[in-house]
Amino acid sequence: MTKTQSILAAALLVAGPAVAAEAIQPCDFMTIEEVNAMVNVPASKTRSMETKNGYECTFLDSSRKAVFSLEIRPSKLPKAELDMEAESLQKIYRTTVKPVEIGDGGFWLTSKQELFFRKGKNIVRVVMAQGADAKVQQARTETVGRLIESRLK
């Protein structure tokens, strides 16, 4: 290893934690108390995990079933990526999407009852435990989406 390569490697090791610290942590956007006020089954703990594109925070009930999930991922071209995702999901689930006015635009995936929207250079996915009425479920999820959008820079 040359001197230049070793200096570059050392610089990358030092910069690595700083770059990771800048990643958005979805669990910082909602508290368990806020989630419990909006869902039917109370959450008792959270689980944060890295996905292939970003980070996801899942709120779990006492039997470890997901009652609320929030995924935030960065994107270089969020509008184009979100449009491609909507088109792909429509083909996979043979359903339609409804446009929603949250953030810089988004959609509601009717068959899976999931909300997707973009804000700045981020794409956000919000999923709540399914309720009995689909319209109430959509309204609740959109309310949570607007809350998250207001907290997202």
pLDDT digits (tens, 9 = 90+) for 70-116: 999 999 999 999 999 999 999 999 999 999 999 999 999 999 999 99
Instruction: Show me where the domains of the chain are located.
Output: 25-151
- Binning pLDDT at 50, 70 and 90, where does residue 153 land? confident
Neighbours of 152 (CB within 10 A): 17
Rounded Cα distance between 53 and 74, Å, is: 7
Fold (topology level) of 25-151:
Protein Transport Mog1p; Chain A (3.40.1000)
Residue pLDDT, tens place only, 29-76: 999 999 999 888 899 999 999 998 899 999 999 999 999 999 999 999
Rounded Cα distance between 44 and 64, Å, is: 9
Phi and psi at residue 43, in whole multiples of 5°?
-85, 145
Q: What is the DSSP letter of 27?
A: G
pTM of the predicted structure, to 2 decimals:
0.82
